[in-house]
Chains A and B, each alone.
With several copies, the nearest count.
Chain A
Amino acid sequence: MSFPPYATTGDKIWYYAFRIFSVLIFVFLLFPLLVIIPLSFNSGEMMHYPLQGFSLQWYQDFFGSQRWATAIKNSAIIGFFSMILATILGTVAAVGINRADFPGKQLLLALLISPMMIPLVITALALYLFYGKIGLNDSYLGLIIAHTILGMPFVLITVSATLQGFDYNLMRAGASLGGSPIHVFLNIVMPNIAPGVASGAMFAFATSLDEVVVVLFIAGPEHRTLPRQMFSGIREQLSPTILAAATVLIVVAALLMLVLELLRKRSERLNKPIEGEDA
């Protein structure tokens, strides 16, 4: 960044203040995370520096032991099914709400995204009491429904955002060219909102993978997910295996972010304003 010749003192102060801020944020945010990763490769049992040597033993423990294997399986099952359900429900809700204009539309929208706003402890408590009545505590189905409820708002929001950029004239164009409403929905609407749907699905999966409060309330011992297992690991017997688990989750989260970024780029490219000779 080069200053124009007439840059004032204020401009320069602002510039350096922003630099210092960035560094501070960096230290408090990234440093703690970066600490974890090398420790997971430590050959000693001690969870602090200096490292004693390189070893993959904690990863062997993570992928090999029965309790972690169960946790991985549970996270995968619950994450996958709740992602599918949240994606379908969220997409249908987004299309329905964005197409029609009906009284109470705003209220319905607020209701549908409320799981994002209501404290998780309360949702967990409510589900715990409700599931107690209908016998869904300590079950895959209960957890999948709970995570569907938590993931659905993300799908709703990302699909709605994509629909805002969607030109409804494309549907009219499709009809005028002879496409039936269903043909137009599948061949014109879906391909154009697909990036939003996929982003929403990623978010829903990440939400389920991350969530621990509801799991703490309603999951039995055989339905422990990865974060739940890490949580009890810390309480019961703190071992570097947890750091290996954390590193694996960080990698998964980073991959999800990468996919999201690629989807965003793709969608931006499709919707980019027209440039041409007659600009």
Chain B
Amino acid sequence: MSKFSGSSPITYKLDTDMTTNTSSQTPHVQFNGVQKSYDGTSLVVKDLNLSIAKGEFLTMLGPSGSGKSTCLMMLAGFETATCGTISINGRPINDTPPHKRNIGMVFQNYALFPHMSVADNLAYPLKVRKIDKDESAERVSKALDMVQMLDFAPRRPGQLSGGQQQRIALARALVFEPELVLMDEPLGALDKQLREKMQYEIKHIHQRLGVTIVYVTHDQSEALTMSDRVAVFNDGIIQQLASPADLYERPENSFVAQFIGENNQLAGTVKEITDDEALISLKDGGEVLATPVKIGKNPIGENTLLSIRPERVILNPTDERIKTLAGDVLELIYLGDHIRCRMLVAGNDQFIVKIPNRAENIGLSVGEKIKIGWQAKDCRALDAV
């Protein structure tokens, strides 16, 4: 799982009900035709089918109101599914109350018990399970040690900083050794630097313990950093379920392309199509090559939205196969490790190119006109929204 090689070689499968590489076993968690409606008319979650393998780190990513949190709450037992079944290890759990599901959970606001010391917070699930004092104390110490908070055992949660509380919440969700841990935007309340640090810590703990983690967030970079697979939610539906690299490199529709990472969009129509390349004529003139992804059966003449990442745009390309467009440099912003260049390209004045700031001077200036282009495989022709 920790091995990873560049532009990932994992092939993408279309069915959202796919199982991972451990597909020979029963999936650890399975959503089967799950729907949820609060008011009886509109569905917040529409026909969810999802299998999560044992030991997987799966992230539910989406904007607020996309249904991702509702799914987590149904899995935790705090919401009931309107229809469909949710199973753990093949056993339906719809009728199991939350306190009998044996699922660890980390909440956004930590939900530490303010009237108990840190040690008592961690001992609570062990006390409920009637584990004897000595073993309980030992397990609490071990869990605190794991999150490097052993010295804080006698403190009250109110005496800790946000990041420290986060660690305690994590330790408490793991101390009773659940096989499944849910995390509901656990890092949402932390500042950026601490959030990134905790992302790596959680990832490392996951790798060490091998528990299954279902993680909910609206932060795409968090999802990319931590997950084995990401389910991108929008409008109550999983738009794409894939590995981080696949999501970024091969988005299946405009929503995913736009939501994951930065993205330039250009509208055009399909002019010609060959094996794995399409010739697209843009609205404002000019023709470019792209990889056809989500265009109809008889695509010639259809509208499409091209999606190209800012860092994949090539300035003054030398490769002769690349079709070029004219671009006007409108703005240059220095951002430390890269320079952000806003251009006017084919009528779009928000066309962004990221130029790495690697010592060599790029010698661009505002007002300049240059040629830009890209490899056909880096540009994807998606559904016109």
Contacts and interface: CB of A to CB of B under 8 A. Distances in A.
Decide if A and B touch, CB cutoff 8 A: yes
Contact of A5 (B64, B80, B129, B194): B80
A101 interface: no
Interface stretch (A91-99, A170-178, A232-240): A170-178
Contacts of A102: none
Given A173-B113, A191-B115, A274-B158, A179 B128 contact: yes
Given A175-B77, A176-B99, A177-B172, A270 B105 contact: no
B164 interface: yes
A169 B107 contact: yes
B346 to A, nearest CB: 28
Contact of B111 (A169, A179, A278): A169
A4 B95 CA distance: 9
Nearest to A179: B128
Given A278-B162, A278-B191, A270 B115 contact: yes
Contact of A4 (B80, B107, B109): B80
Classify chain B's interface size.
Answer: 35 or more
Interface in B149-169: 158, 160-165
Interface string B111-129: 1111100000000110011
Report whether over half of chain B's contact residues are helix, strand or loop; otherwise say mixed.
loop
B111 A167 contact: yes
B75 to A, nearest CB: 11
Interface in B280-315: none
Given A176-B104, A178-B102, A276-B163, A269 B158 contact: yes
A192 B191 CA distance: 28
A10 to B, nearest CB: 11
A52 interface: no
A174 to B, nearest CB: 7
Given A173-B105, A278-B194, A279-B161, A271 B99 contact: no
Scoring B99, B100, B113, B191 by chain A CB atoms within 10 A of each residue's CB, the highest score goes to: B99
B97 A6 contact: yes
Interface in A242-272: 269-272
25 contacts: A4-B80, A4-B97, A5-B95, A6-B95, A6-B97, A7-B97, A8-B97, A167-B109, A167-B111, A172-B98, A173-B105, A174-B99, A175-B77, A176-B99, A176-B105, A176-B173, A177-B99, A177-B172, A180-B128, A192-B114, A270-B158, A272-B158, A274-B162, A278-B162, A278-B191
Interface of A: 4-8, 167, 169-170, 172-181, 183-184, 187-188, 191-192, 269-272, 274-279
Given A174-B99, A176-B182, A279-B64, 17 more contacts: A167-B111, A169-B107, A172-B76, A172-B111, A173-B107, A173-B112, A175-B98, A176-B98, A176-B99, A176-B103, A176-B105, A178-B102, A181-B99, A271-B158, A276-B163, A276-B164, A278-B163
